[in-house]
Amino acid sequence: MLKLRIFILLPFFILVASCSSPEDVTKGAFFHWFEYEGNDEYYNENQPGENEFFNPVLSGFYPDPSICKKEGDYYLVNSTFSFFPGVPVFHSNDLVNWKQIGHVLDRPSQLNITNQEISEGVFAPAISYNPHNDTFYMVTTFVGGDGNFLVKAKDPAGPWSDPVLIPEVPGIDPSLFFDDDGRAWVVNNGDPRGESIYPGHKAIWIQEYDVDKDEMTGPRKMIVDGGHDISQKPIWIEGPHIYKVNGFYYLMAAEGGTAEAHSEVVFRSRNVTGPYESYEGNPILTQRNLDSDRPNPVTSTGHADLIKFEDGSWWAVFLGVRPYLDNHFNTGRETFLLPVSWKDGWPVILESGKEVPLTVKSSHQLNSGVENEFFPNGNFTVRDDFESDSLELYWNFIRTPKDDWYEITGGDLRIDFRPVTFREAKNPAFIGRRQQHQNFSASAEISLVAGDLNDRAGLVCFRTETNNYFLGVAYEQGELVAFVEKTIIRQGTPEKKRLAMKKTGLGADDSILLRIDGRGEFLDFLISEDKEEWESLADGQDATYLSTATAGGFVGTYIGMYAEGLD
């Protein structure tokens, strides 16, 4: 079991020079480094062979994958909901080893998330490449904001344009398809024509997009009503993509909702606007109806996108989850990769009854990758010593920052004490990264230069404003204390509940070590005052409190550095 270590150096006041006054001191929480480790049992017990890889290829909260290519380069994006920057962009040459190269929405002018709920914000971004004007496009939905919009760029690493709003397209999950003749089409999820005839009844619509004018044109047309078989009352047909293969237009979409009944279905037509026929072998991907007691289960699979590799093979990226203990999962919905077979002119990602494997054989040579260059999967360790002038791309904020409340200086990350907490639908002083394993460890070293008795800092395990844990340090009545808090709801309001506290007896020049061990359904919080022996502060805390089954929503758990200074 790996340990989550947090090293925290906490002088109440630090004089930067013997002649300095308290007013000269730059106050804040100074994080000197942060490290994350994963230790899942499957990856310890299995090693991929030659040209094999581990699923998921992007572990942790990387849902709703969309993929495109330009020549031999492949680009992938994911949903980010109300985290900022929005929509990470990954690059690969082999579909397995991915390097993050930027974010699509990295400016407030592109994405202004204010008080939206955590599971609002950016839904299901779809990336595509238009060879007719050598331009990349990303189209998505800002739920709780401006609705559907697109941005474009010559380089997928950015910068991307400010949003082009497309209010003529209602609903969610738009996707752009560029045809051989240069015309472009938007397909998306929307309400059916007329009244819905059952709960969850949705439809797929298509409308032409004028590339030269950057606007919708022509009539909207419903091309799928309900899903594969409307007599079965399928729910939430969404996440559509169109591909042209051997003279057919293939329309692929998710169906069944994003939980255990999630699936992928496919249709085809000789014309882009239909009529579309449904594949009698649908669904072409699902894990529903499998034994829930199977080892190493992957569930909730769907929201797929297809890509043709340079060697002619076809592959699918899709979301899935790795649950523990009766379908709890804290890691969110992750990005998986599987080969696609063609049967009688139809693409099939996984035959009915087959399980998603966690080890997969590739049909082509895989890049070995370079340490700290590519996004790792399996078990790994990532450390940030804050030596760069900017944050690494895997760090995120909760909502869009409006103030410069952090800085990287002298190899430290300094975070201001702000009168905003993670229990509010605002932008707290939180900088976090995804939990990517059931068994994880994260560590940090921090110096607290406090100017007020209410200044506190530490690490937060964050799922929502109401579902989180805080392992922190502060001065209380002149003494340095370490504590663990859990947010609870009392009379409809999130409140902190102290689970444990210890007066450390440390002086202003001493440091303290804090550690959180994540082990499936449990979280352990420990401290060390002498940096050798660990003392339990709060063992066996309920990690399912951070799971989707308990907290709800569409995101995963973040572990982040945090500071607050309340009035």
Residue-wise pLDDT for 373-393, tens only, equals 677 889 999 999 999 999 999
Specify whether 304 is located in the same domain as 386. Answer: no
Specify whether 353 is located in the same domain as 385. Answer: no
pLDDT score at 92: 96
Cα–Cα distances in angstroms (integers) from residue 465 to residues 39, 59, 125, 540, in the given order: 27, 23, 24, 22
Say what the pTM is: 0.94
Specify whether 62 is located in the same domain as 34. Answer: no
Whether 269 maps to a domain, the answer reads yes
Whether 44 maps to a domain, the answer reads no
pLDDT score at 175: 98
- Determine which one of 35, 40, 64, 173 is catalytic: 64
Residues 482, 502 contacting (CB under 8 angstroms): yes
> How many alpha carbons lie under 13 Å from residue 40 in its C-beta half-sphere?
23
Given a cut of 80, is residue 520 above it in pLDDT?
A: yes
Q: What share of the chain is helix, strand, coil (3-state, %, to 5)?
A: 5, 50, 50
- Determine which one of 37, 94, 173, 238 is catalytic: 238
Residues 383, 330 contacting (CB under 8 angstroms): no
User: How many domains is the chain partitioned into structurally?
Assistant: 2
pLDDT digits (tens, 9 = 90+) for 71-109: 999 999 999 999 999 999 999 999 999 999 999 999 999
Given a cut of 70, is residue 424 above it in pLDDT?
A: yes
Whether 373 maps to a domain, the answer reads no
pLDDT score at 446: 81
Which whole number is the average pLDDT over 484-492? 93
Specify whether 12 is located in the same domain as 99. Answer: no
pLDDT digits (tens, 9 = 90+) for 292-343: 899 999 999 999 999 999 999 999 999 999 999 989 999 999 999 999 999 9
pLDDT score at 529: 79
pLDDT score at 14: 33
Q: Radius of gyration of the chain from Cα atoms?
A: 24
pLDDT score at 79: 98
Place of tokens 């506190």: 456
- Domain range for 340: 51-361
CATH code assigned at 129: 2.115.10.20
pLDDT digits (tens, 9 = 90+) for 446-459: 888 877 888 999 99
pLDDT score at 369: 54
pLDDT score at 463: 98
Residues 373, 380 contacting (CB under 8 angstroms): no
Whether 371 maps to a domain, the answer reads no
Specify whether 219 is located in the same domain as 335. Answer: yes
Given a cut of 50, is residue 131 above it in pLDDT?
A: yes
Share of the chain above pLDDT 70, in %: 93
pLDDT score at 368: 62
pLDDT digits (tens, 9 = 90+) for 531-550: 788 899 999 999 999 999 99
Specify whether 433 is located in the same domain as 542. Answer: yes
Which whole number is the average pLDDT over 45-66? 95
Among 361, 389, 414, where does a domain finish?
Answer: 361
Specify whether 329 is located in the same domain as 284. Answer: yes
**CA geometry: angle 104, 107, 110, nearest 5 deg:** 70
Other CB atoms within 10 Å distance of the CB of residue 273: 15
CATH code assigned at 505: 2.60.120.200
Among 330, 361, 392, where does a domain finish?
Answer: 361
pLDDT digits (tens, 9 = 90+) for 189-207: 999 999 999 999 999 999 9
pLDDT band at 23 (very low <50, low <70, confident <90, very high): very low
Whether 46 maps to a domain, the answer reads no
SS (H, E, C) 54-81: ECCCECCCCCCCEEEEECCEEEEECCCE
Specify whether 238 is located in the same domain as 155. Answer: yes
pLDDT digits (tens, 9 = 90+) for 242-292: 999 999 999 999 999 999 999 999 999 999 999 999 999 999 999 999 998
SS3 207: strand
pLDDT score at 448: 82
pLDDT digits (tens, 9 = 90+) for 280-289: 999 999 999 9
Cα–Cα distances in angstroms (integers) from residue 519 to residues 131, 324, 329, 545, in the given order: 47, 10, 12, 13
pLDDT score at 359: 97
pLDDT band at 64 (very low <50, low <70, confident <90, very high): very high
SS3 432: strand
| 64 among known catalytic residues | yes
H/E run at residue 203: strand 203-210
- Please give the mean pLDDT across all residues of the chain: 92
Among 361, 390, 406, where does a domain finish?
Answer: 361
